[in-house]
Structure 1
Amino acid sequence: MPQPLQALPLEELRRRRSVKWRAYPEDVLPLFVAETDFPLAPAVHDVLAEAVARGDTGYTPSDPGIRAAYAGFAARRFGWDVDARRIRSTGDVMMGVVELLRRLTRPGDRVVVTPPVYPPFFDCVAEAGAETVSVPLVGLDDAPALDLAGIERAFAAGARALLLCNPHNPTGTVHAQTVLRELADIAHRHGAVVISDEIHAPLAGRDFTPFLSASEIAARVGYAVTSASKAFNLAGLKCALIITADDATTAVVSSLPDEVEWRTGLFGALAGTAAFSPASDEWLDRLRAAITANHALLADLLADRIPGARFRIPDAGYLAWVDLSALGWGDDPATRILREGRVALHHGPRFGPGGEGHVRINVGCAPEVLTEAVRRIEVLVR
C-alpha cells in the first residue's frame, strides 16, 4: 500500500480562494463541495508554474497533448484502448453533457437520470431543452445499483437518452461490466443513447469499466465525458474530454460547434496532460490510499459516535453518502448540522429521490478534520 498523501494544514487551506474556503465563515468546517485539501501533484504544479513564469496564458491549441495523455492513462489504469483521435475537449464535464444532449435530443425529449445523483444532472437536462425522467437506483441501503428494468420501461415509453454516472455520485458505486453491457443492449433496442459522466473514474481501480469499453454495443450507443478535475483538484482550470469509440458517434462529436472546444482552458489542458501522465501515477496512488484510510476512519467514527447512521464504504471516490434518517432531523439534516454544528455537508434532497435524510461528506481532507466534523455532529446527537 502506498504511503497516503498528507493534507495541507487548515491555516494554509483557509488562504485558498476557491468556493470550498469562501462559501462559509472560518468557524465552519467545509466538507460539502468536491474539492480536496491535498497539495497539487508535482507534475501538475511544475507545468503550471512554468506556464506562469513564461506568461503562457493565451488560447488553447487544438491538440495541447491531453488527448494522447488520456489515452495512455486509460491504458495504464483501466486496460482500455482509447483512440486519441476520437477525443475532443471542452470546458468542463457538464458543459460537454449539455452540448451532447443538444445534439442528440430535441426540445421536450425525455432523458433518464438515476437518483440520488449529482444535482447538476437535472439542470443540464433542462438547459438542453429536454425533460428528466427519474429512475432511482435500487438497493440503496446495501448495494446501490441501476434499475435496469425501470430504465427499459422509460426507454420503451419514449426516453431518448440516459445520463450515466460512472462511478456514481454520491454513492461511489462502480457499475459492473455485466450491468453496463445490459444497459447498452437496452439502449440499443430502443434507439437511445447513453452519456457517461466518468469524472470520478481516475479515482477508481482496475475493476472500473469505462462504459465505452463494456461491449461493442456500448461503443455504438455511448459517449463518455471525463476530466482530471475531481481527482487532481483542477476544477477551476476548465478542461474536460468528450470521448467516442464508433464512427457514427465520433461524427456527432465532430459536428459540435468549434466554440465547444474553444472553451477549453489552456491551464486546464496543461494541468490535465500532466495529471494523466505516468509522472503523476504515484501521486494518484497515494491520494487513493489517503481516501481509503479516511473512508475506514469515517465508518469507525460513525459507528462509535452517531447511533443509527448508515454508511457503506464506496467503491471509488472521496464522497461518502450517509443516511442520518434515524436521527429524526428531517429530510435535510445538513441544514441543522451547518446551523448548530458549524459543519458544511452537501444536502441529500438536492440529489433527487432517495436523498431524503442523507448527507454527502467529502473525505478528501486530513483525518483530524474528519474526526472533528463527526465530533461536532456527535455533540448535536447527545
Structure 2
Amino acid sequence: MINFTDIHDRKQTRSVKWDILQTVFQSEDVLPMWVADMDFQTPQPVIDALVERSKHGIFGYTILDNDVKGEISGWLERHHGWSIDTDWLSFSPGVIASLHMVIQAFTNPGDKVLIQTPVYTPFYSVITKHDREVVKNKLVYNGDSYQINFDDFEEKLKSGVKAFILCSPHNPVGRVWSKEELKKLADLCMSYNVLIVSDEIHGDLTFPGIEHFPVAALSEEISHETITFMSPSKTFNLAGLQASYIVTSDKEKRKILNNQLESQGHHMLNTMGNLALEISYKHGDEWLTELRKVLHEHRNYVVDMFEQHTSKLKVVQTEGTYLLWIDCSKLGLDDKSLKEFMTKKAKVGLNAGVEYGKEGSQFMRMNIACPKATLVEGVKRIIDAVHTT
C-alpha cells in the first residue's frame, strides 16, 4: 500500500528542514515548506532493503557493480528513452559535489560560466568559489511562465563562455524544457565550443503529460559535448544517503572527470546510498507513478485556493518538480518585508525568491511534497495572513 497521506514526525531527526527553524527563520513556530526534500517515506522495498542490510552489522567499503549500473541504465531507458552504456557512469555523493568537480576539471580561474537566472542557489557558488566568472542569461517572465531569451543566450556565448550549467527541469521556476528548446540551446553551445553541464536531478518529477528530455539524448554529437548529473535523491527522498551519478559519453572527458573525482575522494558511494540507489530504481516505478499524481493534485490545489481566495498571489505555471514558484509582487512588499510576512504573519517557512538571484525578487518558493493535511494548513495560513494585511 502506497501512502502519501500519513504525517511523519521529522523533528529531532537532525533534519535540515525541521530542526533548524530557529536558525533559519528566527522562530520555531513556522510550518517548514522550504528545503527540497519530501515529507514522504521512501518506497517500502528501499526501507526493507536498508533494514536487512543493517542487520549484517558490517559496513566496510562497497563496490558499484554491474547490478547497480544495470538498474541505472534500465531506469533511464524506461523513463526517459535514453540508452546509455554503463561505462559512461561515474559516481559522487551528490550533484553539487559533481558540479564543483566539473568546474574545476574543465574550466580555469577567470573563465566565464553561464547560468539561467533565477536559478538554484549553489550554481552561483560552484562558479565563484573557484574564481570563475558568473555570466547570466536571464529567463523571461511573461506573467504566467518563463521563457528563454535565445538572442541574449547567444550573445553571452559569444563573450567567451567556457561552460553552461543547464538546470533541467528548472529549479525554481518549474519549467520542463521542450525538446526544441533544448536542441536550440545545445546547438548554440556546440557552435561556440561551450561545454554543457546538465543538472537533471528533478527529471523524474514531471506532471502527467509532460516529458523530460535528457539533453545528451538528443544526438550523439550533443552527447559528446555534455556531462549529465542525475540521482534518485529527489525522486525517492534519499538526499541524506548521498548517492548520485554522472553520465559522460565522451571517453576523454570521462577520463578527465574521473581523475578529478578521485583526486578529491568523491568517486565512491556509502554502503546505504549504493543499496538505496539500486533498489529504488529496481522497485520504484509504481511508487513514482503515484507520487507524480499526488504532486499534480497538490499543485492544482494551491493554484485553485489562491485563485479563489486572493488576487495577490499567483503560482507561476509549472510543469515539474515539487517546488512552486509564487509571484507575490501584488503584496507590494520589498524582499525583506516579504520574508517577514511569510515567517512572522503567515508562520510558514518558504524560500525567499531573491535567494536565487535578484531576478527572483518578490517571489517565494514553496515545497508541496508533503501530506495533504500539511499543505492545506500551509495554504490556509498564507491566505489568512493576506486577508489580514
Is this a same-fold pair by TM over 0.5?
A: yes
1:337 has 2:364 as partner: no
Query: Aligned residue for 2:362?
Result: 357
Query: Aligned residue for 2:230?
Result: 226
**CA contact under 8 A between 2:5 and 2:373: conserved in structure 1?**
no
Query: Aligned residue for 1:53?
Result: 55
Query: Aligned residue for 1:376?
Result: 381
**1:144-293 superposed matches below 5 A:** 144-204=146-206, 207-258=211-262, 259-277=264-282, 279-293=283-297
Query: Aligned residue for 1:319?
Result: 323
Find the residue that maps to 2:252 and give its secondary structure.
helix
**1:58-77 superposed matches below 5 A:** 58-63=60-65, 65-77=67-79
Q: Which amino acid aligns with 2:6?
A: L
Q: CA deviation at 1:233?
A: 1.0
CA distance in 1, matches of 2:35, 2:274: 22
CA distance in 2, matches of 1:175, 1:363: 21
**1:82-101 superposed matches below 5 A:** 82-101=84-103
Query: Aligned residue for 2:310?
Result: 306
Which of 4, 7, 19 does residue 6 from structure 1 map onto? 4
CA distance in 2, matches of 1:5, 1:312: 28
CA distance in 1, matches of 2:333, 2:374: 23
CA distance in 1, matches of 2:239, 2:353: 22
Query: Aligned residue for 2:24?
Result: none
Q: Cα gap change, 1:151/1:248 in structure 2, threshold over 3 Å: closer, same or farther?
A: farther
Q: Which amino acid aligns with 1:9?
A: I
State the Cα deviation string for residues 315-349 of structure 1 (Å, max 9, x = none): 11110000001011212523321122211001100
**CA contact under 8 A between 1:4 and 1:288: conserved in structure 2?**
no
Find the residue that maps to 1:282 and give its secondary structure.
helix
1:296 has 2:294 as partner: no
Q: Which amino acid aligns with 2:134?
A: T
Q: Which moved more, 1:344-353 or 1:246-255?
A: 246-255
**CA contact under 8 A between 2:17 and 2:35: conserved in structure 1?**
yes
**CA contact under 8 A between 1:35 and 1:233: conserved in structure 2?**
yes
Q: Cα gap change, 1:257/1:363 in structure 2, threshold over 3 Å: closer, same or farther?
A: closer
Q: Which amino acid aligns with 1:249?
A: K
**CA contact under 8 A between 2:261 and 2:267: conserved in structure 1?**
no
Q: Which amino acid aligns with 1:30?
A: P
Q: Which moved more, 1:128-137 or 1:249-258?
A: 249-258
Q: Which moved more, 1:299-308 or 1:95-104?
A: 299-308
The runs of at least 4 consecutive aligned structure 1 residues that moved more than 6 Å come to: none
Find the residue that maps to 2:245 and give its secondary structure.
strand
Unaligned runs of 5+ in 1: none
What TM-score does the superposition give when structure 1 sets the normalisation length? Answer: 0.94
**CA contact under 8 A between 1:222 and 1:249: conserved in structure 2?**
no
**CA contact under 8 A between 1:7 and 1:37: conserved in structure 2?**
no
Q: Which moved more, 1:319-328 or 1:204-213?
A: 204-213
Aligned residues: 378
Find the residue that maps to 2:224 and give its secondary structure.
helix
Q: Which amino acid aligns with 1:367?
A: K
Q: Which amino acid aligns with 1:341?
A: A
CA distance in 2, matches of 1:317, 1:34: 9
Query: Aligned residue for 1:22?
Result: 19
| Identity within the alignment, % | 30
Find the residue that maps to 2:37 and give its secondary structure.
coil
Find the residue that maps to 2:54 and give its secondary structure.
helix
Q: CA deviation at 1:14?
A: 3.2
Q: Which amino acid aligns with 2:232?
A: A
Q: CA deviation at 1:248?
A: 3.5
**CA contact under 8 A between 1:295 and 1:313: conserved in structure 2?**
no
Q: CA deviation at 1:50?
A: 1.4
Q: Which moved more, 1:49-58 or 1:193-202?
A: 49-58
CA distance in 1, matches of 2:357, 2:287: 34
CA distance in 2, matches of 1:157, 1:354: 21
**CA contact under 8 A between 1:102 and 1:129: conserved in structure 2?**
no
Q: Which amino acid aligns with 1:335?
A: E
**CA contact under 8 A between 2:135 and 2:156: conserved in structure 1?**
yes
Q: Cα gap change, 1:160/1:120 in structure 2, threshold over 3 Å: closer, same or farther?
A: same
Q: Which amino acid aligns with 1:267?
A: M
CA distance in 1, matches of 2:178, 2:96: 24
CA distance in 2, matches of 1:359, 1:306: 16
Q: Which moved more, 1:17-26 or 1:298-307?
A: 17-26
